[in-house]
Amino acid sequence: MLSPIDDKEIAVLRDWRHKLHQFPEVSGEEVETAREVVSFLSDTQPDQVITELGGHGVALVYEGEQSGPAVLLRCELDALQIQEISDLPYKSRNDGKAHMCGHDGHMTMMAAVARQLHRQRPLRGRAILLFQPAEETAHGAEAVIADPKFASIKPDYAFAIHNMPGLPLGHIAVAPGQITCASMGLCIKLTGKVSHASVPEAGISPAMAVSRIIAALQRLQAGETVEPGFRRLTVTGVEMGKRVFGITPGNAEIRITLRTPESDAIMGLLEETLDMARKIAAEERLTLDYSTHNFFRACVNDNDAAAIFDNAVDRMALSRVTDYLPIRGAEDFGLFGSCSKSALLFIGSGMDHPMVHNPDYDFPDVLIPHGAGIFLGVLDQLLGSTHQKPTETLKTS
């Protein structure tokens, strides 16, 4: 059985998490973060190190002595384009970029697993620790799976853990079936004609159309809880005209996030939204163009994989929340379900903890041993473990 993580090790991991927090990189730019991962974990002596996987992704592979399943554990490399608001001594040094989703903590959980695998190799099969790029833009999982290098480590099982404010600290939410919604970004561009502000009738302003479209979005929504028929449309940004007072606007852009429980249903909601917007644009004498972005498929937990998570949680005697799932949020981890038995688990960051994607969020360090322990419990069930080596000195920074 894989041994628990001691207090000295937790202190080393906490310091490394703080280092990652200071140097965040956003999706597609995780060059230095990937290098730091490889550097920090190189002395755990993985049997294989795969870099530039699906972009800047890193996979560390630890082989067992006997044949067995391939088990992938996944965390994320990327941060967000958010200006951190905090007085933390380890606050972000990269202006306008910050780890406001806890990916620094998720990487640290994974580093704890890597360090333990150095001391106790799998008995059978292979453990694959994936540090995935570009989760926040929904491109990372797809790019990793499409990368030819992924074929050599294609897993039988895949597991991921995400921290979640609004859940009691250290409490677990996991279940078979649907876990997250599908999500898609929609950008609607309206084009008219500018005019002098004294003669607005000489132009074609998109102002009324923007107002009408935003109002109509509310009528397309349905439900408050994630169940069949649930639909959520959220305006995330509007741009129109310039910061002047003598010219009417000639164009506008509305950015919207669409959410549905099922991945397929989001396409129907997209068409309804576009039909509505086109009708309004035509009535206001405007042309309409659109683009879609960041398509996250719904995460649906495999029954067997969810049961393995359940057993790992039971081994650690962690408390559970049973009426939390599925959530409205989205995660690109769901795509791993297309090539493996996969499951996503949420671990609580605290009821009153700032929400992820907020500028005052910070990952709770107390979750590091909990998340790592759950991952180690998963590996122990599927791969077993060899006897622990005598204590060896690993990197501390």
| Residue 253 near residue 240, CB atoms below 8 Å | yes
Q: How confident is the model at residue 6 (pLDDT cuts 50, 70, 90)?
A: confident
pLDDT, position 393: 67
Q: How confident is the model at residue 389 (pLDDT cuts 50, 70, 90)?
A: low
pLDDT, position 386: 76
Q: What is the pLDDT of residues 260-307, one digit of tens each?
A: 999 999 999 999 999 999 999 999 999 999 999 999 999 999 999 999
Asked if the model's pLDDT at residue 3 lies above 80, the reply is no
* Binding-site sequence positions: 101, 103, 136, 162, 357
DSSP string, 26-52: BTT--HHHHHHHHHHHGGG--SEEEEE
Ordered by where they begin, the domains of the chain are 7-180+299-383 (3.40.630.10), 182-296 (3.30.70.360)
Mean pLDDT confidence for 41-65: 98
Q: What is the pLDDT of residues 147-198, one digit of tens each?
A: 999 999 999 999 999 999 999 999 999 999 999 999 999 999 999 999 999 9
Q: Which residue, among 334, 307, 324, 295, has the nearest Cα to 139 in the 3D structure?
A: 295
**How much is the mean pLDDT over the chain?**
96
Distance of CA 317 to the CA centre of its chain: 26
* Binding-site sequence positions for Mn(2+): 101, 103, 136, 162, 357
